[in-house]
Amino acid sequence: MVKRPTVCIFADFEPDLVAAIEENCRVRFVDMASPRVHQLAALHNAQGVLLNPLTPADTEFFEAAPRLRVLSTASVGYDTIHVAEATRRGVVVCHTPGVLTAAVADLTMVLVISLARRLFDNERYVRSGGWARGDPLPELGSDVGGKTLGVVGFGRIGQEVTRRMQGFGMRTLWYDAVADPHPQVPASRYRPLDELLRESDFVTVHADLNDASRHLIGAEELQMMKPTAYLINTARGGLVDQRALTEALRGGSIAGAALDVLETEPPAPDDPLLRLPNVVCLPHIGTATTETRRRMRELAVQNLLAALAGEIPPAIVNPEVVTGDW
Ligand code: DGY
């Protein structure tokens, strides 16, 4: 009888998804609150891992899992996974693109409009009794129609945000580190990053985080933005130099920011960014809808089972591993 592969689950998955894995595999749940040494010990004979985006898969992780064949994360971002190490060891890395595009684009759209219309200031005004006391209203907002949106990173999510904001009458520009990302949004214009930053009223970031893109938006880039412009980040905190952003917001070199992601998550309670009046911070909720999170977990399981069955998984990060005698 063929021995069933062992799969370690570092995440909360619904019983039906776990049952689908158990049809062909032995499942081991790893307590994510347990010390790392215990988590690593659980990997000793694992051939598959279902990962959450908060658990780093570094060299030590791979060393603890010498039999690993597939690492499937329930996230599109894989910046916490040492992909080169996985590839060197022949481990397939999979992620969940596509199924979360609309959810992240929706949140980005809400943030652009909320900043423009000063939604958060007005909400605070009512909640703190300003209206009841007859205090002056917060400053007026601005229309988004006719304003320029600069989209930094023009993959699936950047293009979906562009489509949505064109629907609100915005002029849209894009920049991507990949020279030709095959954009599907014809009415958007390419600009080099510095020109995009100078021209845009709203800059929204949608790139992958890697060594080349870390601090893509730093002090110099923030200086290029208009003093009336806003920055939105629903991608990864490390794309923006948070210290430089704090200074830019404090000094008024940009008007404000809306951040669903931070360089350190969760932030320290005394993080100066959290005390600035012109920043809105959310707790990384870009994909946080019931339907989207379910689709992400389904795709993560499909990826895992396909790879364990020797098939090419639907969403693979390092396809070079599945060539040759795979
Ligand atoms: C993703 O899928 O990468 C989201 O940011 C959730 O971590």
DSSP string over 277-298: TTEEE--S-TT-SHHHHHHHHH
Task: Kindly state the tokens that stand for 156.
Answer: 């699936």
Residue 319's nearest CA partner among 307, 305, 308 is 307
Which of 52, 75, 156, 208 to mutate for ligand 1's pocket (most ligand atoms within 8 Å of CB)?
75
d(CA 213, CA 191): 17
CA of 252 to the centre of ligand 1 (A): 30
Q: For ligand 1, atom 2, name the residue with the nearest CA.
A: 75
* Tens digit of each residue's pLDDT (9 = 90 or more) over 282-316: 999 999 999 999 999 999 999 999 999 999 999 99
| Torsion angle in degrees (nearest 10) through CA of 160, 161, 162, 163 | 50
* Tens digit of each residue's pLDDT (9 = 90 or more) over 137-165: 999 999 999 999 999 999 999 999 999 99
- Could you identify the atom of ligand 1 that is nearest to the CA of residue 100? 2
CA of 81 to the centre of ligand 1 (A): 13
Question: pTM of the prediction?
Answer: 0.96
d(CA 297, CA 117): 35
CA of 74 to the centre of ligand 1 (A): 8
Which of 73, 96, 100 to mutate for ligand 1's pocket (most ligand atoms within 8 Å of CB)?
100
**Is the pLDDT score of 66 beyond 70?**
yes
Point out the residues that are catalytic: 236, 265, 284
**Alpha helix (H) ranges present in 79-155?**
83-88, 101-116, 119-127, 130-133
Q: Please list every protein residue whose CB sits less than 6 Å from any atom of ligand 1.
A: 53, 75-77, 100, 286-287
Strands (E), 141-292: 148-152, 171-175, 189-190, 202-205, 230-233, 256-259, 279-281
Q: Degrees (nearest 5) of the Cα angle 297, 184, 146? A: 105
pLDDT band for 3, please (50, 70, 90 cuts).
confident
Residue 204's nearest CA partner among 243, 164, 248, 169 is 164
pLDDT band for 183, please (50, 70, 90 cuts).
low
Longest Cα separation, the chain = 78
